[in-house]
Copies of this chain bind each other. A is one copy, B any other.
Amino acid sequence: MSPHRSRRRIPDATIARLPVYLQILAEQLEAGVENMSSEDLANLGGVNAAKVRKDLSYLGSYGTRGVGYEVEYLVYQIRRELGLDHDWNVVIIGAGNLGQALGGYGGFSENGYHIAGVFDIDESKVDSLVGGVRVRHLDDLAQVVAARSVSIGVIATPPAAAQDAAERLVRSGVTSILNFAPVMLVVPHGVTVRKVDLAVELQILSYHEQRRVAAATALRSVQGESGRNVSA
């Protein structure tokens, strides 16, 4: 049997942190650091050391007690677990502002992601260049996905077009979607969707901001009220 393949189911929360660890480890490796303890990693990653150890333990016992983790080997293991030991072809749907920014984003290829195509339904955008890639018509999607075995699609369309884009991706055989449009996509079981919504992020921030203001005015106002507990 293969020596170490998904020994247990790794929690989603851990999966979400592995890329962060990887980023830090790769940086340190570049800087010539050979070993790191879980506490070093925790400090740089802004998390608890025990959490780091537990997270890494899901990959297997790759640390050395009394020493820490060998940076290079750990980088290798995390990359393997995340599927970064080979390249991925990615298609981008939507050649608007965001699509163009994504196309021109350099750090894309850094981890082995290649832009296999940028697509738009707007004829006027077809054939224009985005990040060195010629924009193709959305109708060509299936062909490109099949030809270059694309498995990840990025939706950077206006909200109204997102569901259609998702359906085209799924029909073409794409099983992982990164959705930047502020809509809930409906996809068949077995397709993974992650949503990144700028509006949501801003609104979460302004909630906290508004809360700070409210707390400040509460303090400034008459102190007649009973002691409300204002957490920092």
Contact = CB atoms under 8 A, between A and B. Distances in A.
A223 interface: no
This chain: copies in complex: 2
Contacts of A192: 205, 208-209
Given A20-B184, A205-B178, A210 B82 contact: yes
A3 interface: no
B151 A209 contact: yes
Interface in A44-84: 44-46, 81-84
Interface in A175-192: 175-178, 182-184, 186, 189-190, 192
A110 interface: yes
B82 A207 contact: yes
A10 to B, nearest CB: 8
Secondary structure at the A interface, as helix, strand, loop or mixed, is helix
B199 A23 contact: yes
A207 B101 contact: no
Pick from A9, A44, A107, A205 the residue with the most CB of B within 10 Å.
Answer: A205
Given A178-B201, A208-B192, A104 B97 contact: yes
A100 interface: yes
A38 B204 CA distance: 22
A175 B209 contact: yes
Interface stretch (A11-19, A118-126, A161-169): A11-19
A146 interface: no
Interface string A213-232: 11000000000010000011
Contacts of A16: 200, 204
Contacts of A18: 203, 207
B6 A199 contact: no
A20 B200 contact: yes
15 contacts: A5-B214, A6-B211, A6-B214, A18-B203, A20-B184, A82-B203, A98-B105, A107-B199, A152-B205, A152-B206, A177-B205, A178-B202, A192-B208, A194-B201, A196-B201
Interface of A: 1, 5-6, 9, 15-16, 18-20, 22-24, 44-46, 81-84, 88, 90, 97-98, 100-102, 104-105, 107-108, 110-111, 113, 151-152, 175-178, 182-184, 186, 189-190, 192, 194, 196-214, 225, 231-232
